[in-house]
Amino acid sequence: MSERPKIFVAGHRGMVGSAIVRQLQMAGDADIVVRTHQELDLTNQTAVKQFFQQEKPDQVYLAAAKVGGIHANNTYPAEFIYQNLMMEANVIHQAFEVGVKRLLFLGSSCIYPKLAPQPMSEDALLTGTLEPTNEPYAIAKIAGIKLCESYNRQYGESHGVDYRSVMPTNLYGPGDNYHPENSHVIPALIRRFHEAKIQNQPEVVIWGTGTPMREFLYVDDMAIASVYVMNLEKTIYQSHTSAMLSHLNVGSGVEVSIKQLAETIKKVIGYDGTIQFDARKPDGSPRKLMNSSKLMETGWRCKINLDEGLKVAYREFLNNTCKNR
């Protein structure tokens, strides 16, 4: 390996991939290789092979994925399973073919069973039925973990292969999707409170009772965790994982109710109206929290609290809203 490693970040225009690139650029000690979706379709085996043969990176962050909300997952299940499986298989296999020793695969908390005990630990994987709405996506993500594991098991000793996986909790921050119908709870609430503020609406109505508990992580903290896990000494990574349970959860460990979240966003945006909860609408799971104690035992901690993270997210939302006018 040259003194400055060459690092391929797949999905560098996405929320997580762009945050990983920001972290790597700040550290400044690597050459970063990126390709847009248009330049390199990661579902295309021949193109991915050519790319790896040409670039021969030292490390790979696999943050490219076809992602979407419940509606998109339900409407396009074939696209979700096919595209994610293909991207993972192509990138992981071609990385192996050109001698990549370290690779980090990004999964999601939806790999865990719908009724997994809370907080969800890594060993809840494959212990029960998945949430049906995103099962194809979750199966593809589980396959990604198992691809990494299988290459480690078969080629770890002989080729020094060390492919790792991280499962992030709900993320938010710069690069988030603020689509009015198809966004996660934080960007959706930022948009709603912002619109209510500029239109002088007296109240904002939020679905459900406001009591469900959720966990959030600012995306730059996720990027720091990704770089940290990628570079964690092999013996330390292995002492917190096992050959067939090789992934690590990444969460803030801080729970907030939807009501607390809404009140914090209202304050950050400076909205003066009231919040109404429509208890006739569904709540979703009462609690969704990751158990990230394994990662925390290695010394990692999130640095940005919800208040600070929401302020930056809102500033970024305003910049983009103004730019797009």
User: What residues line the site for ligand NAP (CB under 6 A)?
Assistant: 11, 13-17, 37, 41-43, 63-67, 83, 87, 106, 108, 168, 170-171, 184
Cis peptide before 119 (omega within 30 of 0): yes
**Which C-beta is closer to ligand NAP: that of 42 or that of 275?**
42
**Which C-beta is closer to ligand NAP: that of 188 or that of 275?**
188
Shortest distance in whole angstroms from residue 134 CB to ligand NAP: 10
Residue 181 near residue 71 (C-beta atoms within 8 A)? yes
**Which C-beta is closer to ligand NAP: that of 251 or that of 271?**
251
Shortest distance in whole angstroms from residue 107 CB to ligand NAP: 6
Burial class of residue 113, CB neighbours in 10 A (0-12, 13-18, 19+)? middle
**Which C-beta is closer to ligand NAP: that of 66 or that of 275?**
66
* Long-range interactions of 67-72: CB distance < 8 A, separation 24+: 67/14, 67/137, 68/182, 69/182, 69/183, 69/184, 70/133, 70/134, 71/181, 71/182, 72/182
Compute the half-sphere exposure of residue 63: CA atoms within 13 Å on the CB side of its CA: 26
Reduce the DSSP state of residue 36 to 3 states and report it: coil
**Which C-beta is closer to ligand NAP: that of 18 or that of 196?**
18
Distance CA 60, CA 9 (A): 6
CA angle 172, 216, 319 (to 5 degrees): 25
**Which residue of the chain is nearest ligand NAP when measured via CB?**
14
Token pair for 227: 């770089």
Q: Which residues are catalytic?
A: 137
Shortest distance in whole angstroms from residue 325 CB to ligand NAP: 22
Shortest distance in whole angstroms from residue 140 CB to ligand NAP: 10
Shortest distance in whole angstroms from residue 133 CB to ligand NAP: 15
